[in-house]
Chains A and B, each alone.
Chain A
Amino acid sequence: MSATAVAAKTGAVNVQNVVKIYQRDSQQIKVLDGLTLEVPEGEFLALMGPSGSGKTTLLNLIAGIDRATSGTVRVAGTDLTPLGEGELAKWRSQNIGFIFQFYNLIPVLNALENVELPLLLSHLSKKERRERSLTALRIVGLADRSKHYPRQLSGGQEQRVAIARAIVTDPAVLVADEPTGDLDSKSAEEILDLMQTFNKEFGKTIVMVTHDPRAAARAHTQRHLDKGVLTE
């Protein structure tokens, strides 16, 4: 069965009985406690909850940048549990688009080069990479800023470049950690508009962590986490 077929059957994201325990010196901190979550394909899910509730940890597990202590995490049709570090990195490059709160653009690269970064891991030619990156920038409305460096862009523009970087590989799932948390309300609205566009027009599954009720209201579904457990 293909990954797409598996994803259609099990949902784009399928988290089963996940426990995540952090070791802090001699202390064990249970961040996620037997959590189960299913996100269907094309869903726009907002994860809310107080600080320390485990939202970002759950997002990291879904994005394959952290590992569960127990339980299974299946995303885009792939069970992430048995994958090695190298396999997981390759999987991330093909299936996940990550949007950070603080944009995390590489300061020494211009907008176009930042967007092109994930494509460096593909077999595309330089020309193809440039074309795709420009297309992604065009979609987020920043084609005319392609040669600008992060320091020359506003916060909203930086986040739009970060979104272009997240979508340039055409990933199945977009994960966003407080994507509007560092933006003014106008820029936040623009970013949320963009995310809605990707969800509606391109059918991207989006999992977004947010504290902002206005941002959460843009999602189809809102789930609340508290002390590592989904409460609603």
Chain B
Amino acid sequence: MKFAPLVLKHLHKNWVRTLSTVLALAVCILLFTTLRTVVAAIDFGLHAGNAGRLVTRHNVSLVFTLPLTYKQRIAAFPGVENTVIECWFGGVYRDPKNFFANFAVEPEPFLQVFPEIMLPPEQKERWLNDTRGAIVGRKLAQRFGWKVGDVIPLESTIPPYRIGHPFEFVIDGIYDTDERKYPGTDLNSLYFNYKYLYEATKDRSGGYIGIGWLTVKIANPEDAGKISKAIDAEFENSDKPTKTETEQAFLAGFVAMAGNLALLLNGIGLAVAFTILLVTANTMSIAIRERRQEIAVLKTLGFSSALVLTLILTEALLIGATGGLIGLGLSALLMKWLPNVPMIGDVVATYPNFGLSATTSAFGMGVALLLGLLAGFFPAMSGYRSRIAEALRQV
């Protein structure tokens, strides 16, 4: 501690240089932690899928629907325990900025197949008996201040579901989950009764609106491959061929090329960190080169080479630590601000656990300290190796 004034006063002397180096590091850590948070959110979403659930959809695209009759045919497959019809409704609540996911589902099998969707018994009972009923996730309800019993309008953006006026849904329940048992469960969606959608649109679509996809609950996750192949083989020669995959693979399809995206984001993070490392190392080198004579004086006074090295590394680590803390602070602010940004906030809301985690913070701080240490290493070694007589001769 007794050497602290020496270290701090050196940092303060060239405060513009120190500040710019600290800010460069802070920006690096901000980018690094933000990118890692995005990657972690995507990864978390991918792992939220249940291995005991398959998803059967049109093999060309989710845009094309499947016939209702497929539900009964698939339910009859050996190893299949349950099936749920699901449809992407694409409903807009008052303003397109208020984006959230909303699906038409069959309430009873839906709650059986998705045990992570948890409702109080009386709310569950109400929803099962209410065609116009809907359930919303806790976070979505908090976002719009919705309560059970509220009536909300949603107008679909998908032509077959546009009926000239918004659909009106009664909020029968607000679902939650057990975060420890079912991590990654989405609490930002709305589910309503498929029957309501069917009844409201069948006349406009000539009695056929189809289904978006079927979620298939299987008895044994190890049979996933076998059952998927059997289902797809069944409909291979029909005019509506299917593609069946595990729920995890299905989710991965939503975050297109998620693996490559993670690689790309990590690559950007590394490139930024490396660039900042070069900038910081250069700044530190200049700072130490300017103090060659001073280092020689300290050594003359009896400061050992190891102590000189420690003092320079301490300066570098202080810059790293300060940059890291500022970067993490900015990152935390960004994470709080992003959900409130129009459009971006809607995307962020689809990742249930989006936020600066303790692991990412620790990782960011570790990167900041490592950058500081690496940037200070060569200048510190130059100070360690400098010979007093030679350095004094160059005065």
Contact = CB atoms under 8 A, between A and B. Distances in A.
Contacts of A82: none
A98 B3 CA distance: 21
Interface stretch (A58-66, A71-79, A218-226): A58-66
Interface size for chain B: under 10, 10 to 19, 20 to 34, or 35 or more residues?
Answer: 20 to 34
A121 B6 CA distance: 13
A94 B387 CA distance: 20
Interface string B193-216: 000000000000000000000000
Contact of B293 (A104, A126, A165): A104
A168 to B, nearest CB: 10
Interface stretch (A8-16, A33-41, A105-113, A152-160): A105-113
A172 to B, nearest CB: 14
A100 B297 contact: yes
A229 interface: no
A121 B303 CA distance: 7
B13 A108 contact: yes
B9 A118 contact: no
A66 B302 contact: no
Interface string B282-299: 000000000001100111
Contacts of B300: 63, 65, 92, 98
A217 interface: no
Contact of B2 (A65, A66, A120): A120
B297 A104 contact: yes
Contacts of B387: 66
B302 A94 contact: yes
Interface in A102-154: 102, 104, 106-109, 113, 117-118, 120-121, 126
Contacts of A108: 6, 9-10, 12-13
A181 B216 CA distance: 93
Interface in A28-67: 56-57, 60, 63, 65-66
B395 interface: yes
Contacts of B297: 100, 104, 106
A58 to B, nearest CB: 11
A63 B3 CA distance: 24
Contacts of A56: 393
Nearest to B391: A65
A89 B299 contact: yes
B5 interface: yes
A102 B395 contact: yes
Most B CB contacts (10 A, CB to CB) among A63, A65, A91, A93 go to A65
Contacts of B301: 92-93, 98, 117-118, 121, 165
B392 to A, nearest CB: 8
B389 A65 contact: yes
Contact of B303 (A57, A89, A100): A89
Given A66-B388, A100-B297, A102-B395, A107 B13 contact: yes
B98 interface: no
A184 interface: no
A90 interface: yes
Interface in B289-326: 293-294, 297-306
A90 B299 contact: no
Given A56-B393, A60-B389, 7 more contacts: A66-B388, A89-B303, A89-B305, A90-B302, A104-B297, A109-B9, A117-B301
Interface of B: 2-3, 5-6, 9-10, 12-13, 293-294, 297-306, 387-389, 392-393, 395
12 contacts: A56-B393, A65-B389, A89-B304, A91-B302, A93-B301, A93-B302, A94-B302, A100-B392, A104-B297, A108-B6, A118-B301, A121-B301
